[in-house]
Homo-oligomer: A and B are copies of this chain.
């Protein structure tokens, strides 16, 4: 059994200026792979305390993972502290230095002198490439133990963990087979009621999570081998799928926008966002079906896009009828096969109220959203509801055809 400790480095963490989301990510990753995490520690940018923390963690654990402190400035001390804890001396690695200088050259800028220490290595460490930043990580082996140092920015850290660290670790022979079912349009407690006793078992376990895109249900089975874990999970997974089929839009790495794109099957999507401020567009980023969007709350502009002055006067912009007219407008005025519109109230008494409509294939569908929350949450829920509506409508359309 592999025992791990995590050390997060940074005075800003001790000042409470940022929350340590990296440590939670690593904790989940370790748990999923059967590595037992005994302790997480946060230490500031202080060499003696950091060195002591590494030293103590190494005396207790087989694997010590450090996050942060790999930047170029004087308070980035993780390299120095690991070197000191292992009693080694860092030296500039020519290959790393050339890579760093190339990175700056490709941007047409000279490398600042302070960045040279990002090319340091110690004898027991190898460098972990960082495709999203300038700070390489370290993977060190010493006395049968492993010390991993990763940069703090989550985007850099997550990728390096998956691509560089996991393949180097002697992970226990333990397989966890997990399937995550994504739903939308049903609350977490209703999902839990539907699943009933399935949620009480330990292996396979069934757990619900409220996510931005709806409720996720995770079915996890643990066994010595992958095939056994899969077999163990299968009957429970089938039951869960059957109970939730009506609300399910995908599984595992599916995204709602990706599933919608797939359903559209070559047809194009035009979008009008009135109040959601581009949130729906960001969800549709990189989907080939996404043709064109107008993002505005300006009444004159919305009228040129299909909103009738009568609806605006009698029902207001945040109404089902306005969403319906704008969905038709998104199809006609933006030259798309399918029109999708969302209208959102982000301020005042009715903040959180929203409508989405989809128009195409000779039919229209609408959905109402009403949720307590701040403006960003209101925009987000409305945009997700619009995507889910379009997915459901195009899936129905496909079944009818």
Segment with Cβ contacts to B, from A165-173, A227-235, A273-281: A273-281
Chain B's nearest CB lies how many Å from the CB of A161? Answer: 13
In the complex, what distance in Å separates the CA atom of A295 from the CA atom of B293?
Answer: 5
Would you call A27 and B14 a contact (CB within 8 A)?
yes
Contact indicator per residue, chain A 28-39, by CB within 8 Å of chain B (1) or not (0): 111100000111
The answer, yes or no, to whether A337 is at the interface (CB within 8 Å) is no
The answer, yes or no, to whether A1 is at the interface (CB within 8 Å) is no
Chain B's nearest CB lies how many Å from the CB of A84? Answer: 18
Segment with Cβ contacts to B, from A70-78, A137-145, A236-244: A70-78
Segment with Cβ contacts to B, from A16-24, A120-128, A312-320: A16-24
Segment with Cβ contacts to B, from A185-193, A259-267, A354-362: A185-193
Hey, which chain B residues are within 8 Å of A310, CB to CB? none
A291 interface neighbour in B73, B190, B273, B298, Cβ under 8 Å: B298
Chain B's nearest CB lies how many Å from the CB of A92? Answer: 16
Would you call A193 and B114 a contact (CB within 8 A)?
yes
A296 interface neighbour in B30, B208, B292, Cβ under 8 Å: B292
The residue on B at minimum CB distance from A71 is: B188
A280 interface neighbour in B28, B29, B278, Cβ under 8 Å: B278
A189 interface neighbour in B20, B115, B131, B291, Cβ under 8 Å: B115
The residue on B at minimum CB distance from A153 is: B210
Interface centre among A28, A39, A131, A199 (most CB of B within 10 A): A39
Chain A: how many interface residues by the 8 Å CB criterion? 95
Interface of A is mostly: mixed
The answer, yes or no, to whether A207 is at the interface (CB within 8 Å) is yes
Hey, which chain B residues are within 8 Å of A199, CB to CB? 73-74
Hey, which chain B residues are within 8 Å of A375, CB to CB? 285-286
The answer, yes or no, to whether A107 is at the interface (CB within 8 Å) is yes
In the complex, what distance in Å separates the CA atom of A231 from the CA atom of B232?
Answer: 67
Number of copies: 2
Chain B's nearest CB lies how many Å from the CB of A208? Answer: 7
Segment with Cβ contacts to B, from A245-253, A321-329, A366-374, A393-401: A366-374
Chain B's nearest CB lies how many Å from the CB of A137? Answer: 16
Would you call A38 and B49 a contact (CB within 8 A)?
yes
In the complex, what distance in Å separates the CA atom of A177 from the CA atom of B284?
Answer: 42
The answer, yes or no, to whether A182 is at the interface (CB within 8 Å) is no
The answer, yes or no, to whether A223 is at the interface (CB within 8 Å) is no
A192 interface neighbour in B37, B73, B377, Cβ under 8 Å: B73
Chain B's nearest CB lies how many Å from the CB of A285? Answer: 3
Would you call B28 and A16 a contact (CB within 8 A)?
yes
Would you call B291 and A278 a contact (CB within 8 A)?
no
Q: With A31-B15, A40-B14, A285-B379 given, is the CB distance from A114 to B189 under 8 Å?
A: yes
The answer, yes or no, to whether A89 is at the interface (CB within 8 Å) is no
The answer, yes or no, to whether A294 is at the interface (CB within 8 Å) is yes
Q: With A208-B73, A346-B286 given, is the CB distance from A190 to B112 under 8 Å?
A: yes
The answer, yes or no, to whether A364 is at the interface (CB within 8 Å) is no
Interface centre among A19, A199, A277 (most CB of B within 10 A): A277
In the complex, what distance in Å separates the CA atom of A305 from the CA atom of B11?
Answer: 48
Would you call A187 and B295 a contact (CB within 8 A)?
no
Q: With A14-B27, A282-B278 given, is the CB distance from A73 to B189 under 8 Å?
A: yes
The answer, yes or no, to whether A44 is at the interface (CB within 8 Å) is yes
A-B contact pairs, 9 of them (CB 8 A): A16-B28, A16-B30, A20-B24, A115-B189, A277-B282, A278-B284, A279-B285, A285-B346, A292-B294
Name A's B-contacting residues (CB within 8 A). Answer: 11-21, 23-31, 37-44, 46, 49, 53, 71-75, 103, 106-108, 112-115, 131-133, 153, 155, 187-190, 192-193, 199-200, 207-210, 271, 273, 277-282, 284-286, 290-296, 298, 300-301, 334-335, 346-347, 370-377, 379
